[in-house]
Amino acid sequence: MILWGQQYLEEAGIYFGHGTDNALDEAAWLVSHAVGLAPTFSDVELEQGLTSEQQAEVKALLTRRVQERLPAAYLTHEAWFAGHRFYVDERVLVPRSPLAELILDQFQPWVEPNQLKRVLDLCTGSGCIAIATALALPQVKVDATDISPDALEVARRNVADYGLAQRVEVIESNLFDALRGRRYDLIVSNPPYVDAQDMAALPEEYRREPCMGLSAGAEGLDLVIPMLQQAAEYLTPDGVMIVEVGNSAEALQARFPSVPFTWLEFSYGGEGVFLLEASQLVEYHDVFMQG
């Protein structure tokens, strides 16, 4: 069934990019879901025979994947991020950020994990970054904010699934608006950052995701610049800000050529993630305000 699914997806010209990058892995994900196995199924389980009902379920899933161009995560209502399962649907983006690697490393070497007490996840979406951070750093409290009430419903569901309501607070906020007086040792964000040119060229699968989670104006900087302008007020003196801007990294550097962004590298792929210290945000505040 997996090999049949692979051929079906390849012949249909499906675009991959929401958890897999090829037809074989995507077919394996959908088939394993249909038969009730985790995506990490064993070689022994691979030999499992399927009932006629399971075969019908597999074919139904793959047919929807092809005909509706829905990302597989919306069909299974689950996505994996930093080794953890999250509920997702079309109210949120499918988790796929390279920030997962940083979280699993407890943000080392960029911060001292034991010094972290409060973390802010701006533009939380499904809550995956906030929750994975709380799981990786048991001593921290995390605020998870988003402007979308629909996305926050998904985030609250995931927080409840992990029993983290005492350590992860879900807050409706337009960036920092609802956070007056709060200070964080770490601000982390995967905000909307797709520029107008890239938005116009997105494959159909990405158009199934909420536009407000992707689109960020002509240069992809409509949210990032206000974040840079305001973040210093919400960081502790030794705090750090880490933000993913993807393909808009070049536009950001061109806009602020004097700012010494630290661009992070990842072992498992991904780029366009910068780090600034609180002191740098203060030093270049006037530059950002001229933005």
Measure the N-to-C terminal CA separation of the chain; round to a whole number of Å.
54
The pLDDT, as a whole number, for residue 145 is: 98
**Mean pLDDT computed over 32-58:** 90
The pLDDT, as a whole number, for residue 249 is: 96
The pLDDT, as a whole number, for residue 40 is: 84
- Mapping DSSP to helix (H, G, I), strand (E, B) and coil, where does residue 226 land? helix
Whole-number Å distance between alpha carbons of 82 and 147: 24
Judged against a pLDDT cut of 90, whether residue 48 lies above it is answered with no
- In which band, very low, low, confident or very high, does the pLDDT at 19 lie, cut at 50, 70 and 90? confident
Question: Nearest 5°: CA angle at 242, between 132 and 286?
Answer: 150
The pLDDT, as a whole number, for residue 224 is: 97
Judged against a pLDDT cut of 90, whether residue 94 lies above it is answered with yes
Q: How many CA atoms lie within 13 A of 136 on its CB side?
A: 24
**Mean pLDDT computed over 178-183:** 97
What is the CATH number that goes with domain 2-76?
1.10.8
The pLDDT, as a whole number, for residue 291 is: 78
The DSSP element (H or E) to which 189 belongs, if any, is strand 184-189
Judged against a pLDDT cut of 90, whether residue 199 lies above it is answered with yes
Whole-number Å distance between alpha carbons of 190 and 243: 6
Mean pLDDT of the chain: 95
CATH superfamily of 79-289: Vaccinia Virus protein VP39 (3.40.50.150)
The pLDDT, as a whole number, for residue 38 is: 83
The pLDDT, as a whole number, for residue 273 is: 97
For the segment 117-157, what is each residue's pLDDT rounded down to a tens digit? Answer: 999 999 999 999 999 999 999 999 999 999 999 999 999 99
The structural domains of the chain, with segments of one domain joined by +, span: 2-76, 79-289
DSSP secondary-structure letter at 95?
Answer: P
**Mean pLDDT computed over 261-281:** 94
The pLDDT, as a whole number, for residue 270 is: 84
Judged against a pLDDT cut of 90, whether residue 58 lies above it is answered with yes
Judged against a pLDDT cut of 90, whether residue 189 lies above it is answered with yes
Whole-number Å distance between alpha carbons of 229 and 287: 9
**Mean pLDDT computed over 171-192:** 97
- In which band, very low, low, confident or very high, does the pLDDT at 181 lie, cut at 50, 70 and 90? very high
Judged against a pLDDT cut of 90, whether residue 252 lies above it is answered with yes
**Mean pLDDT computed over 44-67:** 93
